Amino acid sequence: MDRARSITAAVTSLVLLATAAALSISAYSRNSVWSDQISMWSDVVEKSPMKARAHLNYAIVLAKDGQLDKALEENLKAVELNPDLAKAHFNIGAIYHLRGQSDEAVEKYLIALSLDPRIPQARNNLGYAYYAKGLLEEAMKEYRLAVEIKPTNANTYINIGDIHADMGRMEEALAEYRKALFYDPGNPTARLKAGRALLALGMRLEAESALREAVKRSPGSAEAHYALGVALTALGRTDEARIEFLTALRLDPGHEKARESLTADRAR
């Protein structure tokens, strides 16, 4: 299992759930206060400190701005005022997850889902938390529930594909990555992993094509360049492969596999 995947990349929907309702604004102008969402919701919670949803919505815009400490504080206030606010529990779990506090995240996801079983982001994130612990059956169950709720979420299909790939079921993995691409054709992770699956299945030309598209869409991805280099090596085009390995190393000097591939090429 590839434990090197970052939490940020693997856990979907960590931009917290946005459910803020449109406000009825009085006829007089308050542009200085309502000029942006952070100012808006800060003003709301200051004037209505006992409204849980105001704290939730303030937390959402804070998280979108990268202010996770403040977002956590506002979500905690929201659940203190309304313990049944499932989305606030999910948001707390998502922040814990980003911080690497997976056990605390799981606890919050389970609370959120006990209150609202149909939060697809919570199902997906819970699945990834299980996946990271090696609990593949439990992870697959949550991913399957997530796509039942929201069948257009490309990242959940990627996560399902990863479980198949970890278990050596590359045809099933490829099918899931292709579903992800159906719903999100520009998804670079799905394209990269589809290319790797094609290569593992011996479909070298198809793999090259998929990986060239991955590089085109993400030219700054060392992993995409490395994977293309592997495909080109398999096709016997070592000069082209060397360029890709060098590019991967330029983008990520710590990419050991690219370095090893260059060393192996020189030894031939």
Q: What is the 3-state secondary structure (H, E, C) of the chain?
A: CCCCCCHHHHCCCCCCCCCCCCCCCCCCCCHHHHCCHHHHHHHHHHHCCCCHHHHHHHHHHHHHCCCHHHHHHHHHHHHHHCCCCHHHHHHHHHHHHHCCCHHHHHHHHHHHHHHCCCCHHHHHHHHHHHHHCCCHHHHHHHHHHHHHHCCCCHHHHHHHHHHHHHCCCHHHHHHHHHHHHHHCCCCHHHHHHHHHHHHHCCCHHHHHHHHHHHHHHCCCCHHHHHHHHHHHHHCCCHHHHHHHHHHHHHHCCCCHHHHHHHHHHHHC
pLDDT score, position 63: 86
pLDDT score, position 266: 66
When pLDDT is averaged across residues 245-249 and rounded to a whole number, the result is 96
Say whether pLDDT at 9 is over 70: no
The sign of the dihedral angle between the CA atoms of 169, 183, 232, 224 is negative
110-129 CB burial, b ≥16 within 10 A, e <16: ebbbebeeebbbbbbbbbbb
Say whether pLDDT at 18 is over 70: no
When pLDDT is averaged across residues 129-147 and rounded to a whole number, the result is 94
Say whether pLDDT at 28 is over 80: no
Q: What is the length of the chain?
A: 268
Say whether pLDDT at 38 is over 50: yes
Percent with pLDDT over 70 in the chain? 85
Question: Which contacts (CB < 8 Å, 24+ apart) does range 197-205 have?
Answer: 197/161, 197/165, 197/170, 197/173, 198/174, 199/227, 199/230, 199/231, 199/234, 200/165, 200/170, 201/170, 201/171, 201/174, 204/231, 204/234, 204/235, 205/235
When pLDDT is averaged across residues 157-174 and rounded to a whole number, the result is 96
For the stretch 182-222, pLDDT in tens is: 999 989 999 999 999 999 999 999 999 999 999 999 999 99
pTM reported for the whole predicted model = 0.82
For the stretch 72-128, pLDDT in tens is: 999 999 999 999 999 999 999 999 988 889 999 999 999 999 999 999 999 999 999
Instruction: Out of 3.40.50.300, 1.10.10.10, 1.25.40.10, 1.10.274.30, select the CATH number for domain 1-23+32-150.
Output: 1.25.40.10
